[in-house]
Amino acid sequence: MATLLAQLRQYFTIAEFKKGIAFRASYIVLQMADYFMTVFAKNAGFEEMNPVMRGMFGSPLEMLAFKLLIPLVIAVLVPAKLLIPALVLLLAIIGLNIKELIVFVMP
């Protein structure tokens, strides 16, 4: 049990947090990019495909909280190396969003 606690403590040190600050900042920036692209697409006439987010469009404050506050908590609590798969997924989602917006703008 003591070794498990020692291993867990290494992920919650100031040095570990600073070492992964680029991953954490990238995660938050990509979440915000996805949020703004979603709002732009919704205002341009697109329909939200994600049923969770679709329900939050009635309250922009809920949507912003969901897309900012929860990722902030995740970025602080999750070790930086574990954010890498989320970063890859967010890049893929943003890439698909950009492709759809380009196809929509240039028929």
Digit-coded pLDDT (tens) for 19-73: 788 999 999 999 999 888 888 888 888 887 878 777 777 777 777 788 888 999 9
pTM of the model: 0.77
Helices (H), the chain: 2-11, 14-19, 21-43, 51-56, 60-64, 70-77, 84-105
pLDDT-based confidence at residue 103 (cuts at 50, 70, 90): confident
Higher-pLDDT residue of 89 and 50 is: 89
For the chain, the domain total comes to: 1
Q: Which residue has the higher pLDDT, 102 or 59?
A: 102
* Cα gap 79→17, rounded to integer Å: 8
Which residue range forms the structural domain that includes residue 9? Answer: 2-105
